[in-house]
Amino acid sequence: MNIQIKISKKPIEYSRAINFLESRIEKIQKNEENELIWILEHPSIYTAGTSYKENEILDKSINLYKTNRGGKITYHGPGQLICYFVLDLNKRNKDIRKLINIIENTITQTLKEYKITSSADRKNIGIWITQEKKLKKIAAIGIRVKKWIAYHGFSINIKVDLKKYEKIIPCGIKDKDVINLYSIKKQNYNNLGKQLSKNFINNLKI
């Protein structure tokens, strides 16, 4: 399985990243490039998926980038790890549900290696942590499938500015908060991206 792992140290503008993913789709379709897993951060930005609603914007002054991924509104910024991918589901029985399960398992498995317990929730997509008897979101997932090639990806909050989420209803969920890994367990997360990509590739082989 030839999957390129790309890790960017400097923040990448959102539009530039999406354009890169879409150009990779065309190259994969033509068998000119390998599949991709890309770890990065974005500068501060609000993005809206294809199912967002206007009433989920609480502060109308924010600049909103409308994107073609699934899902609703979320925030990206410094202190948040992004894992993008371009994966050919033609090679994987065209099974979108299985891919989402692999993503969920990859995140929970990796966080477990950092001694953090998390889980998927069948009602609300993403990965959740229980703190003070409340479910709080630690990772968001949003993908799109084009000619059975899946792209976009997921994000994990490490030490992001949580006040930014007060301007929106994140992922359309009103009654649950978002949380940072660093507030759960203060430890070194510098290698989280490498560990995630390693586990992701291993899980894709199963």
* Residues forming the active site: 171
DSSP 55-69: GGBSSTTS-EEE-SS
Measured CA to CA, the distance from residue 124 to residue 128 in angstroms comes to 9
- Residue 122 identity (one-letter amino acid): R
- Residue 34 identity (one-letter amino acid): N
Residue 167: phi, psi to the nearest 5?
-90, -5
Do the Cβ atoms of 34 and 4 come closer than 8 Å?
yes
Q: Give per-residue burial for 187-205: e unless 16+ CB within 10 Å, then b.
A: eebeebbebbbebbeeebe
Do the Cβ atoms of 201 and 35 come closer than 8 Å?
no
In terms of phi and psi (left: phi > 0; alpha: psi -120 to 50; beta: otherwise), the region of 85 is beta
Residue 4 has which token pair? 């390129």
